[in-house]
Amino acid sequence: MRDRLIRALLFVVVSSTYYATASGLTSSNDGSHYALLRAMVDEGRFRIETYTHFAEGNDLAIRDGAIYSDRPPGTALLAVPFYIAGGVLPRLIRELPTRHDEGNPRLAYLVMLPVLAGAATAAILYSLLRGYDLPPMAALTAAVAFAFGSTMWKYGSVLFSHAPSAVLVIGGVALAIHVGRAGQLRPLTGLLLGLALGFSVVVEYSNALFAGLVLAYVAWSLLWVKEDKPVADAGWGGIALLVAGMGLPVAFLLFYNTVNFGGPLTTSYQYAINYPWAASFGTTFDVPWRQGLPGMLWYGVDARGEENQGLFLLMPVMLIGLFGVWAYAKRWGREAVLVLGLFGVYLLLFARHHTFSGFTADGRYLAPFLALWFVPVGFTLAELHSIKDSAGKAVLMLIAYGLLFLSVRNMLAHIAFSYNYHLDPGLVARRAATPANWRYILGNIFVNWQNLPLLWFVEGGITVILLAGRALWHRAANHLNPALPPASGAE
């Protein structure tokens, strides 16, 4: 019960902070997602000629004179319910300071997709860490460090693909771990896992590798034999629902590619107007590791001369995870292979990306996989908390929490100097801590705080729906099998 309450509070605090930070549409990237969404909702088609101005002439794909978004379609597809709901839910308390489509009240609901996805990622990370029997304080601190000390804060408040991708990644990993521990693939788990893996590919094409690796882990777990553990029972019902859950979104993607770009495996990147190198794997991932890997981890300059803020430079709290890798691998070897292996594979992959700086100069391509690295961060914090009180422990704790606070500071600055945020250091008074300074700085970061009641209203509605669905599920299960415990006794 305590974990459930902590998880709920974590979700509300993180989502509220992200939503208060949101500033509507901020650039050509989220503008391109939005153009596709508007075309689907308003015109019932995938061509975006009517809405190309949202993409600022940048994130577009052109085939046979027709104009499309060059972004994968999953983010726009998942955002459709939020945009439609925005037409009937309460009006804005304060208009969003958006860069595009000013005055459209639906934008305040549209940005709830990345907000809720980012907050759910932090909540799932907390549950995953508690599943490793880490102390609540260590698990919560690691989840908070991820939520506010990593770039998920930025991408949890803008309509990029990274936050939806992140929750699908951590959700898929958590479900795969559950299958491995349970030794069987139950129907509901299979369906949820299939949906997570399938939609992850529709949201971000590169997640096809992730989906394949997770499926391999699940198969390995179900076939794994140990002296005290027989071959697991896969369960045909679970397998069938896994295939169905994954097949539905993948079928949409194959249809989308065929209709718009001429073939099921031909993506929008083949026709991207500003990224001709994205047409093939060889030209997309052509940077030598000796250049890209230092750039992704610390600092570097890509082929276009763009400087890159690497992971450990921008998010120094991630350094803590280096000291938790051994403890994690020693105690949970198979699961560490999955979690750290996925992070390592994508680190190496994106280190070779043609523009590893990612335009926002922060290694943003790794954002969906950052939560995986915060698992060893949790193990490090648990080890620190277990040390007997001493001067040495005090120094280590000071370093660890100092890195956390430095990361939070970096995220505030990173957001403040991003597109559609207008903090001007020249307007900050020279005195360090005047009320006017704090009002100016925070007012240019938390630009949407007055609309927070809208988010809480939506979260309340979602909670009621989930509780009602849970009650109906248990009532049906109890009716079919009276021996099952009542719903109130379930965790």
CA 470, CA 19: separation in Å to the nearest integer?
27
pLDDT recorded at residue 486: 45
- 3-class state of residue 184 by DSSP: strand
Q: Is the Cβ–Cβ distance between 105 and 94 less than 8 Å?
A: no
Q: Is the Cβ–Cβ distance between 411 and 405 less than 8 Å?
A: no
- 3-class state of residue 191 by DSSP: helix
Q: What angle do CA 109, 57, 287 make, to 5 degrees?
A: 100
pLDDT recorded at residue 88: 92
List, in order, residues 6 or more apart from 128 with CB less than 8 Å away.
Answer: 170, 173, 174, 177, 375
CA 120, CA 134: separation in Å to the nearest integer?
19
Distances (CA, A) of 408 to 105, 231, 304, 324, 416: 30, 46, 29, 21, 12
Instruction: Tally DSSP H helices, then E strands, for the chain.
Output: 20, 4
**Distance between start and end Cα atoms, the chain:** 7
Q: Is the Cβ–Cβ distance between 3 and 127 less than 8 Å?
A: yes
CA 116, CA 128: separation in Å to the nearest integer?
18
For the chain, the domains span 2-22+111-416, 453-489
Distances (CA, A) of 73 to 26, 40, 253, 448, 449: 18, 10, 8, 27, 29
Burial of 386 (0-12, 13-18, 19+ CB in 10 A): exposed
Q: Is the Cβ–Cβ distance between 19 and 451 less than 8 Å?
A: yes
Q: Is the Cβ–Cβ distance between 185 and 239 less than 8 Å?
A: yes
pLDDT recorded at residue 364: 86
Model-level pTM?
0.93
pLDDT recorded at residue 282: 84
- 3-class state of residue 21 by DSSP: helix
Helix extents (H) in 187-332: 187-203, 207-223, 236-261, 281-284, 289-297, 311-314, 325-331
- Phi and psi torsions of 140, nearest 5°: -65, -40
Which of 155, 159, 204 lies closest to 33 in space, CA to CA?
159
pLDDT recorded at residue 16: 98
pLDDT recorded at residue 431: 79
Q: What crossing angle do the helices spanning 289-297 and 333-351 adopt, rounded to 10°? A: 110
The first and second tokens of residue 207, run together, are 């997640």
The first and second tokens of residue 392, run together, are 């040495």
Q: Is the Cβ–Cβ distance between 122 and 372 less than 8 Å?
A: no
Integer-rounded Cα Rg, in Å, for the chain is: 23
The per-residue pLDDT string of the chain (491 residues; one tens digit each, 9 = 90 and over) reads: 889 999 999 999 999 999 999 999 999 999 999 999 999 999 999 999 999 999 998 999 999 999 999 999 999 999 999 999 999 999 888 889 999 999 999 999 999 999 999 999 999 999 999 999 999 999 999 999 999 999 999 999 999 999 999 999 999 999 999 999 988 898 889 999 999 999 999 999 999 999 999 999 999 988 875 545 555 556 778 899 999 999 999 999 999 999 999 999 999 999 999 888 888 888 888 889 988 899 899 888 776 777 788 899 999 999 999 999 999 999 999 999 999 999 999 999 999 988 877 656 667 889 999 999 999 999 999 999 999 989 999 999 999 999 999 999 999 999 999 999 988 888 887 777 889 888 999 999 999 999 999 999 999 999 998 888 877 866 765 665 554 444 433 33
Helix extents (H) in 51-186: 74-85, 107-110, 112-130, 136-149, 152-155, 162-182
CA 485, CA 304: separation in Å to the nearest integer?
62
Residue with tokens 């100092």: 402
Q: Is the Cβ–Cβ distance between 299 and 310 less than 8 Å?
A: yes
Say how many C-beta atoms besides its own lie within 10 A of residue 307's C-beta: 11
pLDDT recorded at residue 232: 54
CA 256, CA 264: separation in Å to the nearest integer?
8
pLDDT recorded at residue 477: 58
List, in order, residues 6 or more apart from 52 with CB less than 8 Å away.
Answer: 35, 60, 67
Which of 5, 11, 7, 1 lies closest to 127 in space, CA to CA?
7
Entry field: residues in the chain? 491
pLDDT recorded at residue 69: 97
CA 126, CA 17: separation in Å to the nearest integer?
17
Which of 206, 205, 159 lies closest to 36 in space, CA to CA?
159
pLDDT recorded at residue 177: 96
CA 38, CA 56: separation in Å to the nearest integer?
15
CA 201, CA 1: separation in Å to the nearest integer?
34
The overall average pLDDT reported for the chain is 90
DSSP symbol at 57: T
